[in-house]
Structure 1
Amino acid sequence: MALFKGIILKLVVTYVTIQTVSAELISWDSGCGSTKGCFPYCPKGCEYLVTWQTAGTSTTFTLQAEETDTNVYLAVGFSKDYRMGEDSVVGCIVPGTTVKNYYNEGTDTDELATPLLGLSGTSVTQTNGVITCTFTRTLNEASDDKYFDLNNDYILMLVVGEAEEEDGAYKLEEHHKIPWNSDGKVDFNSHYVVDLYKLNSPAVKLHGIMMVLAWLLLVIVGMVTARYNKDMLPEEKLFGTKVWFQVHRTAMVVACVFVVIGFIPIFVEIRGYSQIVSEESKESVKAHPVLGIVVTVLCFLNPIMALFRPGGDHKFRWIFNWAHLGVGAAAQILAIVTIFLGYVLERSMLSNKAIWMTITHLIVLAIICAALEINKWMTTRKKNQVENRNGVITDDIEMKEEKEPIQEPTKPSVLPFALLLLLGGFLIGSTLAILVIIADS
């Protein structure tokens, strides 16, 4: 329980942190789109702003980003793709107030042989939680092939990371925030406004849609059916197998198929792990993909276990029943947490409506399941009372006195059927609403 509360608390802190936007610390540059090229993110005041102005053989850059930590760097990268690696970088070290050239190769970012090559007019300041870095960079320096020629177009990347002092010099450590990437390659000889690349491509949307269908609809249908329809339709069969089991098995198999369909394209799209941004804590870095992998493993573990389940009257059947329930419940809880973490990923740009719709979805589910549990308990209690009064022996001890049999009611209660119909209709409607929100993001 403490672990679950910790996960929920971390989720809330992450969400509040990401959604909180400070006052307009970074002002919009009126020259954007006319006398300057700009790469901004300004939904409610600017979180960051990159401007450039090319004249002759050089370009003057101004980088601005919100950051309260002081032992950090602000860097701009020029990349051939959306992945960090083999990129030309200019890094602005806040504690050292220095601007240098770097080359990013894999996870290592090293200074060029001549760190100040092609740089002039450098300045680094941090005031009121805003880092500002200005420098002029020549478009090309033929003496170093790791100094990219800005006469060519590149993806523009902006990132904040930790600066670590080593032997009197500062190094650019791996960043703990996702880089802000331009939506397409940038022509630095032109002055226009470049949009932010968002995680809302068709592949990303497919990932979200498949996971919502799997975990917020199909898995819930499968679990609810196994829990409540087993008693309501104990003997009814479909194709030689009990109806409740057919529905349960079909829902779970289709859910696993949807998980696979959603799992593959997201890894193809981002070519590896994603990161979840948390200004206050780095513990949640990479939480969404890691939990997603765990959930996917659990998703397939349960049907594999089911292939080896003992018979219904086997002495070890109870072990399987508890293991099946435990793995299923753990997968469902972690899946819901992972879905919420996906909602608040900074680059997803997903409307808050998805969060509130999902919360409503879960609250209604909890209320109706509570009503079904109460009805199940009352029905079982009433049935036991009738059996006891009819003289049914359950513990191999003979009753000393037989009582007149009492007919057990044969007409099933309408209430659980009505509750299940209500739940099914609501789950379908709310799931469709969430899918529409994701598709429109």
Structure 2
Amino acid sequence: MIIAWLGAASLGIVLARYFKKTWDGKTLGGVDIWFAYHRILMVLTWVLTVGGFILILVEVGGWQTTGDNPHAITGIVTVLLCFIQPIGAFFRPHPGTKNRPIFNWLHWFVGNSAHILGIATIFLAVYLQKAELPPWTVFVLTAYVVFHVLTHVVLSFSGFRKHLLGVYAPIILLFVIAMICLVALAPIGSTYNNLMGA
């Protein structure tokens, strides 16, 4: 889920939002390059989300509530929104038709809702007992959100989008790697002690 929502979805959204005009006239496989990359990243998001959801259900032995933590509910809603997106995209009206603006707004709304809820669900996972993550993981996620939002603000006004993408993508990758390391090494304290032979 970390790779899907912090990595692939974030980059896919940025490409769709800011690079339609930046890469105007450039194609890959017969479609605009921004769209080709957007589609690849969003299919990756979908595959990772569905795969992650299945692995989670197997790990916890089926559906379980998480007490007062709404992680399970927000996770299900995120998966459902993620499922709706490609179905809607498959039936999207052609550009220039009267229903295309409706599709564009719905696609934007559902996609951004899924992304925001996906990130919120990852925040909620920090507090799950099974995750065994240190509480300061929230600060790593908060730094990611601040960076992502600031990138949107800067890209909205910048003429240096190609250069900023060269900064944005590696930093997002670093956040993804940091979060994967935190999850893989959890609980950090006992993992550290084991590594040091204590």
What percent identity do the matched residue pairs reach?
34
After TM superposition, list the pairs within 5 Å mapping 1:305-320 onto structure 2: 305-320=88-103
CA RMSD of aligned residues (A): 1.3
Structure 1 Cα separation of the partners of residues 130 and 40 of structure 2: 35
Return the match for 1:424 from 151, 169, 183: 169
Structure 2 equivalent of residue 369 of structure 1: 152
Match for 2:38: what amino acid? H
1:264 & 1:361 partners in 2: Cα distance?
Answer: 26
Residue 343 in structure 1 maps to residue 88 in structure 2: no
Check conservation: 2:57, 2:63, Cα contact below 8 A.
yes
- The aligned runs of 1:193-272 (5 Å cut-off) are 211-272=1-62
Matched with 2:142 is 359
**Which sections of structure 2, spanning at least 5 residues, go unmatched?**
187-198
Name the aligned partner's letter for residue 126 of structure 2. Answer: Y
Aligned length: 186
1:271 shift after superposition: 1.6
Contact 1:295 1:334 in 2 (8 A): yes
Contact 2:27 2:33 in 1 (8 A): yes
Give how far 1:235 is off: 0.8
> Contact 2:12–2:42 at 8 Å: present in 1 too?
yes
Give every structure 1 segment of 4 or more consecutive aligned residues whose post-TM-superposition deviation is greater than 2 Å. 272-277
Pair 1:299-2:78 in alignment: no
* SS of residue matched to 1:299: helix
AA at the equivalent of 2:99: F
Q: Distance in 2 between matches of 1:262 and 1:345?
A: 16
Quote the offset at 1:258 in angstroms: 0.5
Q: Secondary structure at the match of 2:98?
A: coil
Q: Deviations over 1:193-239 (max 9, x none)?
A: xxxxxxxxxxxxxxxxxx00000010011100001110100110011
The residue that corresponds to 1:434 in the other structure is 179
Rg larger for: 1
- Amino acid in structure 2 at the alignment position of 1:417: K
2:175 & 2:113 partners in 1: Cα distance? 23
Distance 1:336 1:350 in 2: 16
Per-residue deviation, 1:326: 0.6
Aligned residue type for 1:325: W
Q: Secondary structure at the match of 2:20?
A: helix
Task: State the match for 1:324 in structure 2.
Answer: 107
Q: Is the 8 A contact 1:226 1:248 kept in 2?
A: yes
Structure of greater relative contact order (alpha carbons < 8 Å, 6+ residues apart): 2
User: How far has the Cα of 1:346 moved from its partner?
Assistant: 2.3
- Higher strand proportion (structure 1 or 2): 1
Show CA shifts across 1:394-438 (max 9, x none). Answer: xxxxxxxxxxxxxxxxxxx4x211211111110011110111111
Aligned partners of 2:93 and 2:3: how far apart in 1? 31
CA distance in 2, matches of 1:347, 1:425: 30
How far residue 293 of structure 1 moved from its aligned partner, in angstroms, is 1.1
Q: Helix, strand or coil: the match of 1:314?
A: coil
Partner Cα separation in structure 2 for residue 337 and residue 289 of structure 1: 11
Correspondence for 2:194 = none
Which letter does structure 2 place at the counterpart of 1:341?
Answer: L
Deviations 1:305-344 (A, max 9, x none): 0111111010111000000001001111111111111111
Q: Report the TM-score, using the length of structure 1 for normalisation.
A: 0.41
1:155 maps to none
Q: Indicate conservation of the 8 Å contact 1:354/1:438, yes or no.
A: no
Deviation at 1:273, TM superposition (A): 3.0
Q: Superposition pairs for residues 106-255 of structure 1, below 5 Å?
A: 211-255=1-45
If each structure's helix is expressed as a fraction of its own residues, which one has the higher value? 2
TM-score for both structures, normalised by structure 2: 0.89
Q: Secondary structure at the match of 1:230?
A: coil
Distance 1:326 1:253 in 2: 18
Judge conservation of contact 2:131–2:183 (CA < 8 Å) in 1: no
